[in-house]
Every structure is written in C-alpha cells, then in structure tokens.
Amino acid sequence: MTQIINTRPLLQEKPQPQTPEWLISHHITTSTEATLASLDAGSQGLTAEQVADRQAQFGPNEIAVKKAPPALIQWLQAFNNPFIYVLLALAIVSFVTDYWIPVRAGEKPDLTSVIIMSCMILFSTLLRFVQEFRTNKAADALNSLVEVTVNVRRQDEQHHAVVLSVPRHEIVPGDIVMLSAGDIVPADLRLLESSSLQLNQSVLTGETLPVEKHARVHAEASQTEISEQALLHQPAIALMSTSVLSGSATAVVVATGEDTWYGSLAGKISGAAPKTAFDKGVNSVSWLLIRFMLLMVPVVFLINGLTKGEWTEALFFSLAVAVGLTPEMLPMIVSTNLAKGAMALASRKVVVKRINAIQNLGAMDILCTDKTGTLTDDNIILAGALTADGFDDIRVAEMAWLNSYLQQGINNPMDRAINDYATQQGIARRLLHIRKADELPFDFTRRCLSVSVYDDHGRQQLICKGASEEMLARCTRVLSGKEEVSLTSEHLQHYREYVAEKNRQGYRVLLMGSKTLSAENSLRRLRHDDECDLTLCGILCFLDPVKQGAESALASLKARGVQVKVLTGDNAEVTAKICRDLRLSAGVPLQGPDIAALDDESLKQQLASHTIFARLTPSDKTRIVTLLQQSGHTVGFLGDGINDAAALHAADVGISVDNATQIAQNAADIILLEKDLQVLEHGVRIGRQTFGNIIKYLNITASSNFGNVFSVLIASAFIPFMPMLAIQLLLQNLIYDVSQMLLPWDSMDEEFVAQPRKWDAGNIGRFMLVMGPISSVFDVATFAVMWYVFSAHSEAAQSLFQSGWFVEGLLSQTLVVHMLRTRKIPFLQSCARWPVLLSTLAVVVAGIALPYSPLAATFRLQPLPLSYFPWLLLILIGYCLLSQSVKQFYCRRFGQWF
C-alpha cells in the first residue's frame, strides 16, 4: 500500500488566470522555464504590484500554530469530564428537591448537598485549569520564534533586478530566493541554479547527513502524484524548514504557508486529538457507575416507598443514595493527583502541556522514539583513523586533519568530527606549521576533496579524502605496512567488502589517498586530473555514538514493562548498529518501502516482531502508532522534527523537547527540557504512581458506597423506619470524602508501579461486587446489635439506631482505606504515608465525637451508650479479618488487585 501524496502544493499548471490555483502547476517539470511560466514569474523577480496581489491572494507565508484558548475558555473546558457531568446533574436534582420544592411548600430549604457538590466541582475544575493554564503559557513561550529574513530578487520601479532582504512571512509564490550557507529554507522551492548545495533535511526525514540538491529532477517527477519518499529526495526541490549547510542556490517559490509540505503536516494536527487511553478509560468507568446508579436508585426508591408508605421521603432518600453511589470526589482526586504528578515532573525539567498525559505516561507499554539525539548524541565523531591494513595510526588522523582544516570549501559534519578528534589528540598543535599550497574543493560529481601541502623538504604532497568508490577509482597503489604495492582487483574487492561490512556495522567510511606532486605540477594550480595515480593510505570510520545513560534508561524501561521501538527516517544499518550497542533487541529492520507494500493486518503482525523501523515517512510513523493502538497498546511517541508531528498527535502521549520544531511542540503533550530517556523512565514511575492513587480511590470508594447501598436495601426491606436519614447519609459521605483528599500523597506498592496499568472498568465493577458486600455483612451485624442488644426497634428509638449505624459505617469506610489500599497486609507489610494516616485518624475521632457534639441535633444524631463501643470494636476487627481473607482470594482468583 504505497503512501501517495499530491504534489499540488508544489507546482500546478496555470489553468486560467482567474482561478485561485493559477500559480501552482499540476506536476514537477524538468524545465525551469516551464516552471517560471506556470508561476507567471521571471528570473528578474516579481514587481511590487505582483507581490501585493499575491500577498492578498495567498496570505502571509506562515504556518498556523494552534494557540491555547483564552483563560475563560480553558476553564470551561475543564468541565468536560464525565464525572463532572454526573455531579452537575445530581446538584441540579438536589437543588430542586432540597430548595425549590420546600420553598414552594413553605418549608425550610436545605442547600447542604448542593453546596457540597458545587464546591467539589469548582475545586476540581479550578485545579485542572490552573495547571493546564500555566503549562500552556510555558509551551507558548517555547514556541516563540525569532523573525527570519530572506534574500529575494525583485524588480524596482525601473524594472531593474534588485536583491532585497524581506521578512520570511512576506514572500509569495513566484519570488526568486537566494540561498546560502546557514539559511533556513523559507518555503517550498524549485531550484533554478545551484552550486555545491547541501541541505540538512533531518527535521523532515531524521537523516543526519546532508543531502545534495541541484537543479535537475528525477524522471519519476513527471508523474502527477509521487510518493513521500520520492518527494523528499527530489534533487530540484527544497522544502520549507530545511536548512542550508553549504553551497548556494537561486530558486523560485512554488508554495507558501499552508500550501507547503510543512503546512500539510501541520494540517494533520489541527483537528481534535484522537481519544487517548485515559479518555477511553474515564468514559468506560463513568458509564459503569452511571449504570449502577440507574439500577440501584429506582430499586431503593420502590422498596422504601412500598414498605414505609412515605413516597416523598423515599424520593429524597433515593436521591441521597444516588449521591452516595457517586464517587463525587473523583474529579478532584484525579485533578489533584495529576497536578501533583505535573509538579513532580516539573522538578525534573519536564513541562506537562496536557495534564491527562501523565496517566497515559504511566499506562504506556510501547515507546516509539526517533534515533538521533535520543539514542545518540546527534554528533558524528571520528571513531577510527586506520591504515589501509586496518590498524590504528595517528599519521592517518594527521593527514585527515590537514585535509579538513586547510580546505576552505564545504565544512560538513565529518570534517568537524576530524577537527574535534585532532584537537583531542593534540594533532592541531603539532602540525600548525604546515603550509597549504592549493586545494580542489569538494563537489558532488567527484565526491572528494584534495589539499596540497608543503612537506619538510619543500615538496608538495597531495592529500585526497572522499567516498570509497570514487577514491578506489583514483588509486593505483596501496600502502601495506611501509611498502607501496599495486592495487589489484583482489585489493579492490577486499576494500569494497570491508566498506560494506563497516556500513552494516553502522559506520560511515571515507578513504584517504596521497601522492607527491612532480616539480612540474607543483608550479601550477591543482587540476582535477591531478587526483589520479594515488596511493591508498588510510580509512576513516565515523559514527554517531550512543548517548550516555541511554542503555541503562532502556533497561529500566524494559524492566518496567515498556517496549521501545525505534522509528527513524535514517539508514537501517546505522540504526541497527546503534540498537545493538544499546543491547536493544534489534532483529532485521523493517523499512519504509516494505511497510508501504503491506496492508494494515499484515503490518500489525510485523509490528509485534520488529524493533527497528527505518527510512520512514511521516505517514509511516503515524500509521505504525495507530496500528499499535488498535492492537491494544498504550503508545508514547518521542520526536522533535516536523516529520514527527502527526505521530505525536496520534499517540496516547506525545513527547517532544524544548529545541524541537514549532509544529512538533504544538503536537506534543509533554515537553522535555532535556532530551533524556532517564527523565522518561522517572516520568513513567510518576505516571503509574498517579494512576495508582486515582484507581485506589475509585475502587475503595465505589466498593464502599456499593456496600452501603446494599446495606440500605437490606435495612429498608426489614426495618420499619429509615435506617439512616438522607442528611446523615450525605454527612457521612462528606466526612469520608474529606479523609480521601490526601490520598494523592499516598505511596504505591513497588509491584504496582513495576508494570503498565490501564483503566479497567470490568475489574472495577468486579471489585465493587466482590468487596462491597463485605461491609454489608457487618452493617447487618450492627443492625442486629442495635435492634436486639440496645432495643432500637421502635419509631422512638430510630435516632439511636441511625446513630449506631452512622458511626459504624463511617469507621468501617475509613478503615477500608487501609485494608484495600494494598494487596499486602496493611500496617505490617505496607503502611500508608503519614498524611493518609492522619486524615483517617481525624475522621475516626470526628465520627465518634459527632453524636456527642452540639451538632448532633442538627443531623438528628444522639449520644451512644459506652457499652456500644466493645461491640463496635468486635465488628471492626471481624471486618478487617474477612476483608483481608477475601482480598487474598480475589488476588489468587483474578490475578490482579487494582
């Protein structure tokens, strides 16, 4: 399945002057004259009138960047949460039943439940808003760009060609642009003339080495549609945002702004982000709780109405049960946990743009990453300066340094690596006295560079460095040991195999040749025919080394259940070598052209067995991420180039860096201020800790609330009065929820954070059904004690009955936090942190003291006899023992806890 893109944004034939697309041709033509004609442009440049017309028609040469909305909109967006919707609905219902209906009936209204739920909604949304507003501001600061100017040839009022320096956003299709070393390509260009032009396309392709460009096009360019790979390697096309490493060129602008290839990639992230694992998990749990509510509330209403005959009171009580079933603190607990995680990551120089991404980081089980700058230093080094026999020799490095240091032409990454190596070895200091005689600059036809220098005897030595095939064609002898021997066909075959093997090992190889110039030749300037009859005397091996700490970081990620897959536009052999050095299970790389030929089902099978994916286009990367997600994985993507933007947008958690391209930062959820996998490993742990405390609250509260409602059903069927008043149920819920506010500061067992964790609505429902009724067993025991021991079985004694169950229910709910927060034995094998210990202790004290306080009458509670408390202690001990036993059974039966 070949990925095809339309080349319309590059060129289009002029169909009719009145149509809006008349500046762009339908195909890439081999004739520069035809290109200029299709753009209604000339080599002299555009006139001021033409520029003004085109600026009005095409707009500024800018890529629209998605900005954070105004503060008010961001706050309103914080309400977009299923649990918030449930609370809002309950708050509205409570307002009608507790305020509007009593006011209409001339009774005293009660807004307690409405105020409680409103405060929870407000606090949760404000917490989320403050965190995301701050990080959006930080991301906007990272996205600020310095104004770039472009040298453009235009016509003055006398129609003479002049060169102007204009802001990048003012150029238009048809402008004639002059490029030189250091320039950023300002738009999509068709080259008209070029001289030794080398572009760095790494932001688009991931390839670290420069690419040669010239004013010729490949034969397949005559097609109306070509593949992305073919477009990226069109020699006559320079794409927006690439940079000029060396050489110069004159080019015509064929597309600007959103019509550029860069702009088309930006368009892929302009829509709403796909739902992540966090979004899907929250939705599934929300609907689980809503279904339970829709089932239980009518049942409670009917049982109480039929048995008591008080339908109005039954309605209020069933609404209180609805509130009791809802983990109303969940939005606040989620927001607090995520905000706490964001602050922890901020201390490690990580900016969290979208707060939900923290949980996705913990749930991530596959990390897709680029190679350059993440696994490697993005800095090519000279790894070996070898003799023709393959032995290290400082004299080869000295010759290489003379060739690189003394030349004044193109200074590419390999020359810089040679110069760095020479500085480290002290070569530069030793050889600074040597004088250059002449040079032959590098060009892409010869693919070599020659420098002649004076030796100690005043003779000229020619030192030539270049690509292997070109050098082997120029050499007739080889230096073996201290002797020069003829370069035979066997030698040629040996060196070709040697270079191929080094390439497979990830090295880039140049060969060195030299000769002494004759007295006659040394009296004139160097000519190309002097680069012949050379002696092969050295082999230079270059490598982009692995990043320090990357191996240990990958090992840590693997230990935490995170698979790492390398997605790169770079060479497959080089990438495989890097992965082997990092002890990353490599195997055979799967390459872009092979991926394009596979359908989705076949590719899904290949994704499971491959670690390296090389020579990828942006579409390839996005497709891989999407198919991994469809296979049930939570996928993170780490990238910093324009070619990574769509994949960053599609991933469950997109991760970029502060020096990434603007479009990559805009697509990312998390921005690393240091491109370090160690930071990611720490982030994974924080994400799992954050999710653990969220799911801990949800499981504990949902099971506890379900147990309470189950107990209500039992009591409603057999007790002639309300087992607990609606206001008491709401108060109990409020006190319990306050104790949960510090759960975000609790620890998680090491076993939990060791593996990726996801939302599992099925497990939450099962957990609720298994663990919830345990509390009902001891609630029924409390009913029996109050009924038979304390004779609370009449209407007059219902306050005593309600007070007894209120205290027991509150203390058992609080105790269950410690019983269910860990799969281990609480207090002995795993103890909560002190904030949780203190908050639960405070609830125990408040629960026992409340019936004796001045507030007791407000909530229709009464003091309990002291003889009640030994019974309470026995009930709570029994509850601990049974819940621990059922917990151990649950872990054995279902193989998981949270």
Residue positions annotated with a catalytic role: 370
CA 354 to chain CA centroid, Å, is 10
User: Distance between CA atoms of 450 and 441, rounded to whole angstroms?
Assistant: 7
Dist CA 848 CA 95 (whole Å)? 30
As given in the structure block, the two tokens for residue 462 are 């020619």
Judge contact between 259 and 56, C-beta under 8 A. no
What tokens were used for 607?
A: 């994704």
Amino acid at 26: H
Sign (positive or negative) of CA dihedral 306, 308, 313, 316 = negative
| Angle (nearest 5°) at CA 412 between 411 and 414 | 120
Between CA 543 and CA 545 the distance in angstroms is 6
* DSSP string across 136-177: HHHHHHHH-----EEEEEEE-TTS-EEEEEEEGGG--TT-EE
Question: How far apart (Å, rounded) are the C-alpha atoms in residues 347 and 673?
Answer: 11
Q: Which residues pair with 510 in a beta bridge?
A: 467, 540
From 335, 363, 277, select the one nearest 685 (Cα to Cα): 363
> Which residues are within 8 A (CB) of 490 and not within 5 positions of it... i.e. 6 or more apart?
none
Residues 76 and 72: their CA atoms lie apart, in Å, by 6
Residue with tokens 């007295």: 519
Residues 6+ apart with CB under 8 A from 339: 127, 128, 130, 131, 355
Nearest C-alpha neighbor of 716 from the set 190, 320, 126: 320
- The answer to whether the CB of 40 falls within 8 A of the CB of 23 is yes
Going by the DSSP 8-state scheme, the letter that residue 530 receives in this structure is G
At 454, is the secondary structure helix, strand, or coil? Answer: strand
**Cβ-contact 698, 285 below 8 angstroms:** yes
Centre a 10 Å sphere on the Cβ of residue 140 and count the other Cβ atoms it contains. 15
**783/809 Cα distance (integer angstroms):** 11
Q: 7: helix, coil or strand?
A: coil
Q: Do the beta carbons of residue 335 and residue 124 sit within 8 Å?
A: yes
Alpha-carbon span 555 to 563, nearest angstrom: 10
Dihedral of the alpha carbons of 558, 563, 568, 573, in degrees to the nearest 10:
70
Rounded CA gap, 143 and 353, in Å? 12
Q: Any residues with CB less than 8 A from the CB of 462 and at least 6 apart, and which?
A: 450, 451, 452, 514, 515, 516, 517, 526, 530, 531, 534
What's the per-residue H, E or C state across 46-62? ECHHHHHHHHHHHCCCC
- The sheet carrying 563-567 orders its strands as 350-352, 670-672, 653-657, 635-638, 366-369, 563-567, 612-614, 590-591
716, 304 Cβ separation under 8 angstroms: yes
Q: What one-character DSSP code corresponds to residue 808?
A: H
Token pair 């180039």 is found at: 641
- Amino acid identity, residue 525? R
The secondary structure of 8-53 as a DSSP string is: TTT------TTSTTTTS-SS--S-HHHHHHHTT--TT-B-HHHHHH
Q: How far is CA 347 from CA 4, 672, 685, 881, in A?
A: 44, 11, 14, 42
